[in-house]
Structure 1
Amino acid sequence: MSHRVTTVQYRTPTAAPAFVRLLARLGGAELPDATPALSERLGQWIDWNRAVSLSRALDGVVAPGAGAPASDDTHHAAVARVRTSLSDAILRGAPLDAGDDDFAPYRRYCLERQRAMLTGTGPLRGRLRDALAQRGGDLARLAEVDAVMEMTLSPRENALLANTPVLLGLHFDRLRAAAEAASGPAWRALFRRDLQDALLAELGLRFHPLDALLAALRPS
């Protein structure tokens, strides 16, 4: 009986980032065979004012910032510490049993973890940009470009990520319905694992720009 519970109708995803593939699987959606090129997407998202700011950041000459730069090891340790703290909270905090038909505790948990990711990664990204700005030259220019891109893309990213609890709610309902049809008790553990996997994948997505900035700080 448990076998029927764990084989809810999932559609085979096409090539896409891991987080997108996971959400498509949980939401029971099909991914398009082809997506617009990144340059085309950016052209749709970046308005005229942002485009001017981005052009200035790309073309400008930036002097090193004031103050003694922190060591690369300090930045690596800070990123690792925040990543570990956020991932541990995801793995430890998921509700164990919220009742047969109550998704609300899981939704609250998901929103709490998303807020923690946002507040944990935002200031850290700014500190990494400050570290790049202190180096001057191309690294300082990269910091300016990242600042413009964050201001441009973060509102859209946050709006899209707000759909994560919605898709998880749909997945919860499908697993519960399949369990009721099969009289199987194993669906809650499966959902809890899928919930954690989705949040860990989102955490990885949020760390992509931080990892890129951190890589730029490494000596060549």
Structure 2
Amino acid sequence: MAKASTRAPVLGPAFIRLLARFGDTDLPRTPPVLTERLAQWFDWNRALVLSRALDGSLPVAGDGQDFDDAQDAECVGVRQSLVQAIDADIAPASDYQPYRQHCVAAQRAMQAATGLLRGRLRDMLARQSPAKARLAEVDAVMEATLSPRELMLLARVPGLLGLHFQRLRDAGAPSRAGADAPDDFPATPAASPWLARFRQDMRMALLAELEVRFHPIDGLLAALRTR
């Protein structure tokens, strides 16, 4: 009888739980306190910039394009196009390289699209009122401070998916030290249950990453919709 896993369940967002499973690692049951982690990420220069954004005089709302239903619909369209890129079909392969390329391409598309969208929404927010202009200024400081660390951490996703791919393939393939593969073992990657599971897991991971990348955008949209 297989021994039951003694690993403690991982707490946190779906994206973190997925990456922990793919990496076969245990994470702390109690995540670090947010304020303590932010204090480690902010150097004194960034802290001064954030302080000025929070405590300085309210910026003057500028001129430019206003946020409206068309802009809201465009945001929905950007998100849908990124989901379609994630769902783009890949020819089944027993080697991880095509899937790595797909993962990296999807990440680059997410980074480019969400970066442009976030900047445009922030500009629109700054034009609505002085108070919202301050919020936009704070968001700009947070993006400049946290984005490098975010990119560094997200860059590990293809590697973790590669480890997950290897484990599933090793568990699903017949032993190469023994006789020929049994008659019921899939002859092509497309028919392999382990590969179908991996493809679904990769899709879930990329969709979860998309949700993470859209968190600040969703916050800006909520502020823009509030009059």
TM-score, normalised relative to structure 1: 0.89
Distance 1:103 1:10 in 2: 29
AA at the equivalent of 1:40: E
Matched residue, 2:144 = 151
Computing the radius of gyration from Cα coordinates, the structure with the larger value is 2
Distance 2:9 2:113 in 1: 31
Matched residue, 2:54 = 58
Distance 1:10 1:123 in 2: 44
Matched residue, 2:218 = 211
Counterpart check, 1:35 vs 2:42: no
Q: CA deviation at 1:10?
A: 9.9
- Worse overlay, 34-43 or 142-151: 34-43
Counterpart check, 1:86 vs 2:82: yes
Distance 2:7 2:98 in 1: 27
- Say if 1:133 and 1:141, in contact at 8 Å, map to a contact too: yes
Q: Normalized per residue, which structure has more helix? A: 1
Ranges in structure 2 where 5+ consecutive residues have no aligned partner:
176-184, 187-191
1:62 partner SS? coil
2:101 aligned to which of 97, 108, 119? 108
Q: CA deviation at 1:11?
A: 4.8
2:29 partner SS? coil
- Worse overlay, 136-145 or 152-161: 136-145
1:45 aligned to which of 41, 57, 72? 41
Identity %: 56
2:87 partner SS? helix
1:149-170 deviation line (CA, Å, top 9, x unaligned): 0000000000000010011001
CA spacing shift, 1:202–1:190, aligned 2, 3 Å = same
Q: CA deviation at 1:133?
A: 0.6
1:141 aligned to which of 134, 137, 141? 134
Matched residue, 2:199 = 192
Distance 1:13 1:81 in 2: 36
Equivalences, count: 209
Distance 2:75 2:130 in 1: 24
Distance 1:29 1:125 in 2: 33
AA at the equivalent of 2:198: F
- Worse overlay, 198-207 or 32-41: 32-41
